Structure 1
């Protein structure tokens, strides 16, 4: 019993020490992001070594869009006209990306964002870990 209480206390302290995403951090989302790993609620993790598409985010004044783009061998990106509208929503001490298309709406919580890492979690408790992509060329 004492071990369970001690483990619970340690977990609580670790969770309390985790930095919260601040409103000013949202600007760091702007730009290109490549999915690195996806973790399901049961702990299964899938790594993505190579991604055919990359997500491009553009957010200003708590609204913007996300597009899927395809990297090309010359270092540029192939882009289409489709995008998902985004609204930033602040609920209690959490920040969410609320998406909307003509077909659906959904939201993802921003768990972590820095210049090099982005972690989002959807309503199904699936976590998406992104990294900044490294361009590849055949030069």
Structure 2
């Protein structure tokens, strides 16, 4: 019985541990396009086309996120508003902390790799992003 209890405890620890590694956080840099939102109810909303995308710039765990609008010439237009961000680790999880003059909040990084980013907020809403690919007419 003790062996089963120990096994369950180890499985619980493994399942609570974040899959995000410190070195993966640099993959946040760049342009990300929202692909899907999954609500706490289980319902999802898919995004086929986006007028704006998120640009993240991070250096030494500090940086900013900015909404940008891709243009057909390959450039980006923006309103100049930036959200200051900081990456923090807490309880075996990695979070992005946002700070603007309007408020402060954080999102947990659930998944991050070269092509996919999944963030979850305190309301348990998951945002799935894909790496943005510029327009191409070729």
TM-score (structure 1 length as normaliser): 0.85
Give distance in 1, aligned partners of 2:121 and 2:18.
19
Alignment of 1:27-42 (within 5 A): 27-42=26-41
Alignment of 1:120-131 (within 5 A): 120-131=119-130
**CA 1:17 to 1:96, structure 2 compared with 1: closer, same or farther past 3 Å?**
closer
SS of 2:102 mapped into structure 1: coil
> Which structure: greater strand fraction?
2
Please name the residue that 1:116 is paired with: 115
Alignment of 1:1-139 (within 5 A): 16=15, 20-138=19-137
RMSD, aligned CA = 2.0
Deviations 1:57-111, CA, capped at 9 Å, x for gaps: 0111111000000011112111232010001111021000000000100000000
- Residue correspondences, number: 128
Q: Give ranges in structure 1 of 5+ residues lacking alignment.
A: 1-8
Give distance in 2, aligned partners of 1:64 and 1:40.
27
Q: After TM superposition, where is structure 1 displaced by more than 4 Å over at least 4 residues in a row?
A: none
Shift of 1:19: 6.2
Give distance in 2, aligned partners of 1:40 and 1:51.
19
**CA 1:47 to 1:60, structure 2 compared with 1: closer, same or farther past 3 Å?**
same
SS of 2:80 mapped into structure 1: coil
Give distance in 2, aligned partners of 1:105 and 1:19.
23
Q: Give ranges in structure 2 of 5+ residues lacking alignment.
A: 1-7
**CA 1:17 to 1:125, structure 2 compared with 1: closer, same or farther past 3 Å?**
closer
Shift of 1:121: 0.2
TM-score (structure 2 length as normaliser): 0.85
